Structure formats: C-alpha cells, structure tokens
Amino acid sequence: MKEGFLYRTFSSCSFALKTGWRISKKRVILEFLHWAFMYVDWLLVSCVLIRFILDMAMKRTSFEKMMVYVWSVVLLEALLKIYSRYFESYVKPVTDVKLYDGINRMLYDKACQVDMRCFEDSEFYNEYMMAVSQAHTKLPETLEGVCQILARFVAMICGMVIIYQIDRLAALFIIFPILGNFVFYGVLNSRIFRMERENIVFQRMADYVNRTVHLGEYAKEIRMTNVFRLLKKQYDKAVAAIRKVIGNYSLGNMILFWLFQYFTFTLLQEGAVLYAGYRVLVSGTMVFAQMAVIQTTMNSNTWTLIGFADSVMAIVKNGLYLEQTRHFLQYEPAIPEDQEGLLPELPIRSVEFEHVSFGYKEGDWVLRDIHFKIEGSQSVALAGYNGAGKSTLMKLLMRLYDPSEGRILVNGIDIREYQVKAYRDLFATAFQNGKIFANTIEENILMGRHTDEKQDREKVERALKLADMYEEVESQPLKEKTILTREFSKEGVVFSGGQNQKILAARAFAKDSPIAVFDEPSSALDPIAEYHLFENIREYGKDRILFFISHRLSSVRDADMVFYLKNGRIQERGSHGDLMSRDGEYASLYRLQAENYLT
C-alpha cells in the first residue's frame, strides 16, 4: 500500500465533510440521517422482525400479539420510507445545486489566482483539469460515501451480534467477504484509478479533436483543407493509446474481479449453507428457525458489507480526485491576487527594467538582460520576429509573471512592493490573443467596470469611435447591447476577426489608465484600417506611457523609442530615424516590408 495512503484518504474525506458543512450544513445532517434510517429499516425487517416472529412462533405466542409487533414495524418502516422519499426527491436535488455552486465558486476564486506560468506546465494543467472537472460530482459522492460507511458499519456490527448470539462459529464466515472486498476489490479499484490516470492525457487529446470537429470556428478550415485527416489521425492515436493502457490492465483486473466475486459470494453463501445444514441435519445442534435467521442475516450482512466496501473504495477513488481539488485549493500562488502593498502614486513618471531575465522553465531563457528606462509620456514600440520575447516583456511589466533575474521599477519602486490589483489597474491592455466573451458589446468593452449608465454609454461610444467600430455597432438593432457570439443566443452577432480586434482595442480605449499596452492590435486589419487604428492609438496615448507591439514596422515609425528584439535581447534601440541611419537588421527588415507593400 502506498505510503501515506490512509492519511491521504482520511484527509480527502475530512476535506469533503468540512467543505460540505461550510456550503450546506443541512445536506450533511440529512444525508447521514437518510442512510441511518435506511439501515434501521433493514435491521428491523431483515433481521429483528424475522427472528422475533420465528421466536414467537416457536413459543406459540398469540396471533394478536404477533400482529401488534408486525404492524408497529410496518408503521415505523412507512415513516422511514416517507423521510427517504423527502430526502431523495427534494433535499438532495436542491442541495446538489448548492454544493455545485459552492465548490465551483471556490474553484473560480482560486483559478483567478493561479500563476500564469502554471498554465504552461502540462503536469500542473493535467492535475488542474482533474480538480476542476470532477470536484462538483466527487464532493457530494464523497459526502454520501462517508455517511454510508458510518451507517453500514453500525448495521454490520448489529448483524454480526445477531449471528454471534445464535452461533459463534457462524460469525467467522464474514472473513470471506472481508477478504474479497478489502483485499481483492481494493487492489482492483486502485488499478482502475491508475489506469484512468494514465489515460487522462490521451482522453484530453481525443476530447480536443471531438471539440474541434464540432465547433463552428474550425468549420471553414476543416471543409476547405485536409486537416480532418490529421485530426482523425490524432484521434485514432489517442484511442489506440487508451486501448493499449486498458489492455495492459485487463488481465489482472479480470483475475482480481473473479477473486472478489468468489470470496464475497461463493465461499460465504455456500459455506454458510453447508455449515448450518450440518448443524441442523447431522449434529442436531441447531433448529430450522435459527438456520433461517442465520441465513437471512448472513445474506443481508453480505450485501451490507459489499455496500460498505463499495463505499470505502468509492471514497478512496473519489478521494484521489478530491486530493487534486484539495491541493489545487491549497495552492499558494507566487503572485497572490490579494497581495497587499504600496498604492501606486500618480502620475507615472518612469518605467525601468534593470537587467531583467526570464524563462518559463529554469535555464530556458526567453528574455536575457533587458535594461531600459522610460520617462514621462513616451510611446515605445517593440519590434522583432515572432518569438523574440516582445509579449513576454509586456507580461512581466504587467506582473503576470515575475522576473527570474533583475528588477522592474515603476516610479523608482520595485513593482513587487505594490498592491497587485492596484498596480495592474495602471494598465489599459489589448492583448494579442484577447478573447471575446459571450456577452454584450458594452460588457466586452467595459469588462465589469461600471460607473453610471450615462457615463458608461459615453465611455463606450468614445472607445468605439477610436476603434473605428462605432458605425458598425450603431447599425445593429440593439446597438451596444448586442450580444456577441451565438454561444447562448441565436440573435447573437459573430464579428469578423478584424472587427473583434477592434472591439479588443476599444476595451483598452475605454480604460483611463496611465500606461497603455497594445499587443499586435492590427494583425487582422487591412493596411488602411491599421493606419487609422494606430493614429487613434497615438492620440489616445499622447498623455500616457504607451507600449505597442507590431510586426508591421510601418506602424512604429512615429514612436518616440523603438526596441528591436532578437533572441530575447534588445539588439537595437532608438527612434525610427536613428535605427534606419544605423542600417542594421531593423532597417533591413523595414525596407523588405516596404518593398512588399510597394509590390
């Protein structure tokens, strides 16, 4: 057994109980009562009632007295059934929703704090997906399992006492299902979990292909190219890998399941029948009534034990999933979103990189020895080939990552000393791969930053005009209240890639921040639209520090400072005129692009 296994299982159960109690005390209490009453019902009917009736029959008790007892049990059983229906039909569905909402809120809060570098770590991401995809089902299942274990354990002890009172040796037959359930079935479940864990990477691959084939945004490429062959090949590879993993486990799983069945049912039931038959027919030391009670109680106890073992194994299995959830919720980010610190003072007078280096993994440098200082309201262009580190440099400035070496200073203060949220609020951003959300145009621009209705409308209008999308939005029946995407609404509007990019630019224009960052804001625009957008970006950024990234060097000519990056270093710096006069790589790349435009 793996070291720390019992502790890990106990910790997961404790986590489930504490979390369930925090979200819904009612669910935890009524869940336990539900299973307790269910096994009170089982004990009354399967064990106590049969034994009592047989005893009274042997003592020739009057029929009236027997019926009083029987009807008392029937009435109590009816009340227990009513409670069971109430719990299953009302309490459980209602509290399931409450548990679903509660655990997801906890996961959402934590997901918004996870360091950005974690999303580049495939191992972390696999565990993260296990945590968030299973938590809302595993939490109620574990709560149910814990309550079942407690109730079934008490019921088994009561059943064993009844058998022991009749015949001490007969109680020993319970050893067989214990071996079957807790040895063979336990190993089987552990193997099944390992099998599922090995398959999760391949399952994600198959799910990716399945999702890609069904999403409209991929439909054009699938129909106009042969990419479906590649996707199908990827899918077949994933399915083959899943089959191989299952094949590796199948023989051992089959043998373990056979041993579980043989010890749990065959040895117990046939062994108990043979033993009781010998006592009744050969030695004459047991009467038929006692044999009937033993057999009935033994069978009931077997199924209770099976249920108990199933609950234990389910808890172990669910606990392994909840362990991922627990670890994820306990994860301490390197850059806490609620980190306290200094509040940035306005105006922003300077931004400085002091010999900054960064790598997503140790030793794998993306940026090396970046150093510069921007003072006052300047516009700074970052140019260079894809992969040069331009976007990463801006992510460091916005403190989505911390440098591996060196410091970043704003107003002469290390940005790690600032309150994180207040510091990030200094930036108006349009990300290169920014996302459009299934919400209104207004919400996609304001992104939750509301003041009053009139000011919001004016802010959205100004931003749309700067992004050259105002007329397009005004032409829609609902104007800025138009829903984007058709994710939830058939009336939703699906804009082109260039129009979406303008909405992303408007998102930055709508935020009055002292530092603006535009990361490839025009990659989907034609040259004329690009020209107008950059004119408006420069107008918007004239009273603030402006950073923008563009692979089209024609758009960086008017920047106060140009940094040309290559292989993670600033290879050339200066104004456009300075760099052209040096006739270096920047000048060569600019002329090459200019010739292509002329052609």
Q: What is the pLDDT of residues 306-348, one digit of tens each?
A: 777 777 777 777 777 788 888 888 888 888 888 899 999 999 9
Query: Average pLDDT of 203-215?
Result: 84
- If we measure between CA atoms, which residue out of 449, 443, 403, 445 comes closest to residue 425? 449
Residue 149 placed within a domain: yes
Strand partners, 354: 407
Residue 556 placed within a domain: no
SS3 for 548?
strand
CA angle 509–513–517, rounded 5-degree value = 65
Q: Which of 111, 137, 167 is the last residue of a domain?
A: 167
pLDDT confidence of 2, banded at 50, 70, 90?
A: very low
What is the rounded end-to-end Cα distance, in angstroms, of the chain? Answer: 71
Q: Which of 488, 512, 536 is the last residue of a domain?
A: 512
- In this prediction, residue 419 carries a pLDDT of 95
Q: Do 48 and 91 meet the contact criterion of CB atoms below 8 Å apart?
A: no
Number of structural domains the chain divides into:
2
548 C-beta neighbours (distance < 10 Å), count: 26
- In this prediction, residue 230 carries a pLDDT of 85
Q: For residue 526, is pLDDT > 70?
A: yes
Q: Do 533 and 521 meet the contact criterion of CB atoms below 8 Å apart?
A: yes
Residues 6+ away with beta carbon under 8 Å from 424: 398, 399
**CA separation for the pair 549, 488 (Å, rounded):** 34
* Residue 27 lies in domain: 8-167
Residue 527 placed within a domain: no
pLDDT confidence of 239, banded at 50, 70, 90?
A: very high
Q: Of residues 469 and 362, which shows the higher confidence score?
A: 469
Indicate if the alpha-carbon torsion angle 249, 251, 257, 260 is positive or negative.
negative
Q: For residue 57, is pLDDT > 70?
A: no
pLDDT confidence of 596, banded at 50, 70, 90?
A: low
Residue 58 placed within a domain: yes
DSSP state of 171: G
Instruction: State the CATH number of the domain containing residue 496.
Output: 3.40.50.300
| Count of alpha carbons within 13 angstroms of residue 269, beta-carbon side | 10
Residue 489 placed within a domain: yes
Tokens of 590: 């600019």
Q: For residue 1, is pLDDT > 60?
A: no
Q: What is the pLDDT of residues 371-402, one digit of tens each?
A: 999 998 999 999 988 888 999 999 999 999 99
Q: How many residues does the structure list for the chain?
A: 599
| Mean pLDDT comparison of 246-255, 320-329, 589-598, highest-scoring range | 246-255
- In this prediction, residue 58 carries a pLDDT of 64
Query: Average pLDDT of 2-25?
Result: 81
**CA separation for the pair 31, 26 (Å, rounded):** 8
| Mean pLDDT comparison of 206-220, 265-279, 291-305, 328-342, highest-scoring range | 328-342
Residue 395 placed within a domain: no
Average pLDDT, the chain: 85
What is the number of helices (H) and of strands (E) in the chain?
21, 10
- The residue type found at 132 is V
Q: What is the pLDDT of residues 84-131, one digit of tens each?
A: 899 999 999 999 999 999 998 988 888 888 888 777 777 777 777 777
Q: For residue 577, is pLDDT > 70?
A: yes
Q: Which of 512, 537, 569 is the last residue of a domain?
A: 512
**Residue 32 exposed, middle or buried by CB count within 10 Å (0-12, 13-18, 19+):** middle
Q: Do 139 and 19 meet the contact criterion of CB atoms below 8 Å apart?
A: yes
- In this prediction, residue 48 carries a pLDDT of 65
Dihedral, CA atoms, 281, 285, 289, 290, nearest 10 degrees? -120
Residue 465 placed within a domain: yes
**CA separation for the pair 66, 53 (Å, rounded):** 7
Query: Average pLDDT of 168-179?
Result: 74
Strand partners, 350: 375
Residue 272 placed within a domain: no
- In this prediction, residue 154 carries a pLDDT of 83
Q: In this prediction, what percent of the chain has a pLDDT beyond 90?
A: 40
Q: For residue 174, is pLDDT > 60?
A: yes
CA angle 531–532–535, rounded 5-degree value = 90
Q: What is the pLDDT of residues 138-149, one digit of tens each?
A: 889 888 888 888
What are the b/e assignments for 335-355, b being 16+ CB within 10 Å? beeebebeebeeebeebbbbe
pLDDT confidence of 267, banded at 50, 70, 90?
A: confident
Omega before residue 347 within 30° of 0, cis: yes
